């Protein structure tokens, strides 16, 4: 537990000086606040920007942050120095994972306040975001662990992140895209968030993210075995 | 003295390339041992095997009484490993970099400042690691290694690429650790550094140890010429054999005041390596 908190604190200090990662946590909540308060169009759904950007946030921030953090540590061999100091791979992953999760939940809090969610809607929104962040972290972790350096991580992260964060928005305009998007967890998180407190939760809204999660978990376990065997 | 490191018949290949081919060595506790070889000859590979980062194809290595293959994290804490490519957290300050590892080792803050003071970085404690010069970065990496007061230090080319003043600082720190009774396994391709620091050295070539022993003894062993090189005040150079007659000649020169300098013809480690392998150590 001590090593997890040390990695957590290290990451906190590091991120405050790392604009590339910091901006991921701030960008979408800030855009939601600005857009919700500045764009008023007649007939526009309530909390349109909060719902749109919160899904993008879930698909982008945890995924890019985790893959960027792990790949940087691998590239600079600081991960090797940590492992040789008796930090276990699981402790390291829990340290950065809990840090990114908490930062994303702080962003979620901004979305929730901006959207004025209360009661059941608030609980549902936070739960959907919390689960989505974990799923994105798993995917980001897989990319980070399998990448040799930051450049190769970025080249994989960008298309993956674009699929998960932009498909729900694009599916609003195109039926074919919607069919593809229906296979992704972010599309169903988007449907859940858009139906907060009004539409009933359909089984597929939970099933698809669960299948996505299972798939990500298998990949994560495989990559974790790799990092446990040879963290270098 | 008991053995800190025992290496028996270690072999390691990467594909077709034999990097280590039956290496056997014993290193006593409290000794500075230097492994000298050109770049890419397998020095780092041997350190990785000894510290459990890499498995040998065959052979055994016992470090601190434990087989390297069976080293646990707790046992690794007794080592300090400074590899050239073990990076620093660039965005964190010197102090913050050490705080991460002090936290992991459960060491108090006062030790951080003690180590920073020892490596001469006390005044740069708040400077971010990215703003440090190469010499300062090396000293910070050494500070990280010394932080938990390890019993055995593995230093992979610690002064490589540093200017002479920075290299001397690092060498002083290594000698200071030896005086505390630490065992130090050093790899280098700098012969002068090895002669200055090491109690024993091994010359590695083609995956094999081609010579082993005290650096001065090795040089003496390969002193085939046994001559004296003399430089006279009139600018003339002479080479005389080691014998009674030469002693008389030299005594006469000294009486006349014609002698400027006198040197023995002992080869350097560079010469010995060249004689044994036909290669330059710095290749």
Select from A2, A6, A84 the Cβ nearest to the Cβ of B100: A6
**B81 contact residues in A (CB cutoff 8 A):** 84
**b/e string for B59-82 if b means 16 or more Cβ within 10 A?**
bebbbbeeebeebeeebbbebbbb
Whether the per-residue pLDDT at B99 is higher than 90: the answer is: yes
Class of CATH domain B1-78+150-163+180-221+269-283: alpha beta
- Count of residues in chain B: 283
* Cα Dmax for chain A: 60
Q: What is the pLDDT of residue B281?
A: 63
Whether the per-residue pLDDT at A227 is higher than 70: the answer is: no
Task: Please give, rounded to a whole number of angstroms, the shortest distance from the CA of B80 to a CA of chain A.
Answer: 9
Report residue A230's pLDDT band, with 50, 70 and 90 as the boundaries. Answer: low
Quote the mean pLDDT of chain B.
86
User: By three-state DSSP, how is residue A221 classified?
Assistant: helix
Task: Please give, rounded to a whole number of angstroms, the shortest distance from the CA of B83 to a CA of chain A.
Answer: 9
Q: What is the pLDDT of residue A220?
A: 81
Strands B227-232 and B259-264 turn out to be antiparallel
CB contact under 8 A, B87 and A13: no
Q: What is the pLDDT of residue A228?
A: 59
Q: Of A109-123, B178-192, B202-216, B237-251, give the lowest mean pLDDT range.
A: B237-251
Q: What is the pLDDT of residue A232?
A: 47
**B90 contact residues in A (CB cutoff 8 A):** 76
B86: closest chain A residue by CA: A77
Task: Please give, rounded to a whole number of angstroms, the shortest distance from the CA of B87 to a CA of chain A.
Answer: 5
Alpha-carbon separation of residue A91 from A7, A96, B81, B216 (angstroms): 8, 9, 21, 48
Select from A17, A76, A87 the Cβ nearest to the Cβ of B104: A87
Q: pLDDT tens across B131-144, in order?
A: 988 888 888 988 89
Select from A2, A18, A76 the Cβ nearest to the Cβ of B87: A76
CB B140 within 8 A of CB B108: no
| Alpha carbons B110 and A147: distance in angstroms, whole number | 38
Domain boundaries, chain A: 2-36+46-229
CB contact under 8 A, B92 and A14: yes
User: By three-state DSSP, how is residue B157 classified?
Assistant: coil
ipTM above 0.85, yes or no: no
For residue B80, give the H/E element and its range: strand B79-82
Report residue A195's pLDDT band, with 50, 70 and 90 as the boundaries. Answer: confident
Q: pLDDT tens across B37-57, in order?
A: 887 788 889 988 998 888 899
Q: pLDDT tens across A12-51, in order?
A: 999 888 888 888 888 899 998 998 888 878 777 888 888 8
Q: pLDDT tens across B117-130, in order?
A: 888 888 888 999 88
Mutation for B interface: A73, A84, A230, most B CBs within 10 A: A84
Nearest CA to A70 among A165, A146, A158? Answer: A146
Report residue B97's pLDDT band, with 50, 70 and 90 as the boundaries. Answer: very high
* Angle at the Cα of B8 from the Cα atoms of B7 and B11, rounded to 5 degrees: 100
CB contact under 8 A, A18 and B91: yes
């Amino acid at each position: 537990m001590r090593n997890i908190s040390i990695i957590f604190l290290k990451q906190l200090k590091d991120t405050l000086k790392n604009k590339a990662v910091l901006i991921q946590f701030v960008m979408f909540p800030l855009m939601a606040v600005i857009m919700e308060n500045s764009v008023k169009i007649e007939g526009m759904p309530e909390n349109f920007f909060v719902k749109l950007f919160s899904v993008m946030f879930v698909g982008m921030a945890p995924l890019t942050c985790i893959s960027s953090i792990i790949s940087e540590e691998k590239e600079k061999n600081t991960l090797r120095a940590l492992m040789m100091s008796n930090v276990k791979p699981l402790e390291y992953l829990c340290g950065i994972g809990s840090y990114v999760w908490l930062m994303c939940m702080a962003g979620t809090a901004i979305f929730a306040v901006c959207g004025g969610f209360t009661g059941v809607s608030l609980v549902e929104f936070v739960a959907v975001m919390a689960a989505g962040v974990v799923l994105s972290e798993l995917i980001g972790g897989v990319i980070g662990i399998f990448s040799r350096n930051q450049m190769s991580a970025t080249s994989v992260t960008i298309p993956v992140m674009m699929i998960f964060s932009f498909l729900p928005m694009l599916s609003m305009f195109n039926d074919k895209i919607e069919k593809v998007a229906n296979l992704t967890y972010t599309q169903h998180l988007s449907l859940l968030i858009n139906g907060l407190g009004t539409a009933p939760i359909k089984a597929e809204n939970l099933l698809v993210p669960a299948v996505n999660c299972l798939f990500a978990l298998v990949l994560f376990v495989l990559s974790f075995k790799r990092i446990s065997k040879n963290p270098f | 003295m008991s053995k800190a490191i025992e290496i028996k018949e270690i072999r390691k290949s990467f594909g077709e390339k034999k990097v280590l081919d039956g290496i056997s060595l014993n290193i006593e506790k409290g000794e500075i041992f230097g492994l000298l070889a050109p770049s890419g000859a397998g020095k780092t590979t041997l350190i990785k095997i000894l510290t459990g980062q890499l498995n040998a194809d065959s052979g055994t290595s016992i470090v601190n009484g434990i087989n390297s293959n069976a080293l646990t994290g707790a046992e690794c804490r007794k080592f300090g490993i400074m590899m050239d490519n073990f990076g620093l957290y660039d965005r964190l300050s010197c102090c913050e970099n050490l705080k991460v590892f002090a936290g992991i080792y459960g060491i108090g803050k006062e030790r951080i400042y003690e180590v920073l003071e020892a490596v001469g970085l006390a005044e740069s404690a708040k400077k971010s690691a990215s703003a440090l010069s190469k010499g300062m970065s090396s000293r910070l990496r050494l500070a990280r290694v010394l932080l938990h007061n390890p019993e055995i230090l593995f230093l992979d080319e610690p002064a490589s690429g540093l200017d002479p003043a920075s290299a001397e600082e690092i060498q002083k720190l290594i000698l200071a650790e030896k005086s505390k009774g630490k065992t130090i396994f050093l790899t280098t391709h700098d012969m002068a550094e090895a002669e200055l620091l090491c109690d024993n050295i091994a010359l590695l070539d083609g995956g094999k140890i081609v010579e082993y022993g005290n650096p001065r003894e090795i040089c003496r062993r390969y002193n085939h010429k046994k001559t004296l090189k003399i430089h006279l005040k009139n600018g003339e150079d002479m080479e005389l054999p080691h014998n009674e007659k030469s002693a008389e000649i030299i005594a006469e020169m000294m009486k006349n005041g014609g002698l400027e300098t006198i040197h023995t013809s002992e080869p350097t480690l560079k010469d010995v390596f060249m004689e044994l392998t036909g290669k330059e150590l710095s290749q």
